[in-house]
């Protein structure tokens, strides 16, 4: 895998090959490099660019990208109000019909512009059009740049739960200009870095000292910090997916924090819509719950749980459930987690990624999941809800 020079030059970029199973694709990243993105897109010889985004991203970044795209080929913009509501079957069906009516062919290119939600919708659209057309990602959030585009998984939500409907499609390429990430609101920036923190805790603990330095410095939006976090995310995800393209074996460690995290995210969004807890914040909270379960089993010492709380608190993510959300609300959703079926069925337990130590998941190395009784999950949630914050002043709630 290619390495990045420590001092990235504005207007230039680096490229790494992302290898996932038998698939590999280029990931270009740099600072102030949209002109280079357009040069690469011009080489695709597309007859139509289908840009899938949300209204907020379109307003922020549309004028920086769309005029250049229109100089290359026709452009059809598919944009929706931001949030999980755009990842549904009715939205997908309407978007596909619209793209076909706009004249899409097998030479067309779908461009996912934005965060993980429009990126996922773009991936499913690209996978279904003519049984698969070229997909490129231009992430504008830390969550997308450091997590969701480093995967072949493309999915939308069902009425039952998150990411239940989807497929696998490798992107043709990924282009990240960290100057776009630096424009994110502070909460959204930090939320996306929760996935990078997950990688350090569950996969690459050797990166934790540097992560703690970056968090303590408080300058997460600098190009240097963002490029380092991006490098770490690429290394971590590549190390567990290189022989597991579908993330159904070793790659399942990437689900650390997601069992409870997805349940919290979905339950809160059903209640508060886009004002609900973000994906990254929910995953961070889920990691604290997972660490608590492992501690109660005697697998992790108290200081590792405290380390989880330190990192989560420094990222501004919740150490408690969002106000108004109850343990019962979370338990109602957690039963439908999308990891069902990996372990022998049991109505009283669910599959979990737990750690025996930092960077060492419990269970078989080839299938890093263990069964956790629903009663254990409830008890851990109640412990976390009642526990005094380890760090002074960390109230843990999300507004």
Could you please report the per-residue DSSP string of 166-210? Answer: EEE---SEEEEEHHHHTTS-HHHHHHHHHHHHHHHHHT-GGGHHH
263: buried, middle or exposed (CB in 10 Å: 19+, 13-18, 0-12)? Answer: buried
Cα–Cα distance list, 43 to 36, 137, 334 (Å): 11, 15, 45
Phi, psi of 17 (to 5 degrees): -90, 120
Of 153, 306, 310, 339, which is the active-site residue?
153
Cα 391 off chain centre by = 27
Q: Provide the residue count of the chain.
A: 399
| Joined tokens for residue 358 | 């930092």
DSSP 301: -
Of 76, 195, 232, 255, which is the active-site residue?
255
Can 306 be counted among the known catalytic residues?
A: no
Place of tokens 């619209």: 98
Nearest by Cα to 118 from 140, 100, 98: 140
First to last CA, the chain: 41
Burial 373-394 (b: 16+ CB within 10 A, else e): eeebbeebbeebeeeeebeeeb
Could you please report the per-residue DSSP string of 2-43? Answer: ----SSPPTT-EEEEEEEETTEEEEEEEESS-HHHHHHHHHT
Inter-residue contact 298 to 354 (CB < 8 Å): no
Phi, psi of 395 (to 5 degrees): -80, -20
3-state secondary structure of 124: helix
DSSP 376: H
Q: Compute the distance between CA of residue 252 and CA of residue 133 in angstroms, rounded to an integer.
A: 27
Nearest by Cα to 367 from 202, 249, 237, 203: 249
Can 255 be counted among the known catalytic residues?
A: yes
Query: Residues with catalytic annotation?
Result: 153, 255
């Amino acid at each position: 895998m290619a390495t990045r020079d420590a001092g990235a030059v504005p207007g230039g970029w680096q490229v790494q090959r992302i290898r996932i199973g038998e698939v590999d694709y280029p990931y270009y990243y740099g600072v102030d490099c949209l002109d280079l993105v357009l040069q690469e897109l011009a080489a695709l010889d597309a007859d139509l660019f289908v840009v899938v985004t949300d209204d907020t991203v379109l307003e922020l970044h549309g004028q920086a990208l769309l005029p250049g795209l229109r100089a290359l080929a026709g452009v059809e913009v598919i944009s929706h109000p931001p949030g999980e509501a755009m990842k549904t079957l009715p939205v997908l069906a309407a978007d596909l019909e619209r793209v076909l009516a706009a004249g899409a062919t097998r030479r067309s290119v779908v461009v996912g512009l934005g965060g993980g939600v429009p990126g996922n919708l773009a991936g499913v659209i690209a996978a279904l059009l003519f049984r698969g057309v070229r997909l490129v990602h231009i992430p504008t959030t830390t969550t997308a740049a450091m997590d969701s585009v480093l995967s072949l998984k493309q999915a939308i939500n069902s009425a039952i739960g998150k990411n239940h409907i989807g497929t696998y499609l490798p992107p043709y390429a990924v282009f990240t200009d960290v100057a776009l990430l630096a424009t994110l609101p502070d909460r959204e920036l930090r939320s996306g870095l929760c996935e990078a923190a997950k990688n350090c805790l569950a996969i690459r603990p050797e990166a934790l000292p540097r992560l703690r330095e970056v968090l303590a410095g408080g300058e997460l939006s600098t190009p240097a910090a963002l490029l380092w976090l991006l490098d770490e995310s690429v290394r971590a995800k590549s190390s567990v997916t290189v022989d597991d393209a579908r993330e159904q074996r070793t790659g399942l460690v990437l689900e650390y924090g997601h069992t409870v995290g997805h349940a919290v995210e979905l339950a809160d969004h059903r209640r508060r819509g886009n004002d609900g807890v973000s994906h990254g914040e929910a995953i961070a909270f889920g990691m604290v719950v997972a660490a608590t379960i492992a501690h109660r089993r005697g697998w992790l010492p108290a200081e590792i749980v405290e380390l989880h709380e330190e990192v989560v608190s420094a990222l501004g993510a919740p150490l408690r459930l969002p106000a108004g959300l109850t343990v019962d609300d979370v338990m109602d959703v957690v039963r439908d987690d999308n990891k069902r079926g990996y372990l022998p069925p049991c109505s009283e337990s669910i599959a979990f990624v737990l750690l025996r130590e930092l960077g060492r998941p419990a269970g078989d190395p080839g299938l890093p999941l263990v069964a956790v009784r629903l009663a254990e999950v409830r008890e851990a949630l109640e412990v976390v809800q009642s526990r005094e914050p380890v760090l002074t002043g960390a109230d843990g709630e999300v507004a």
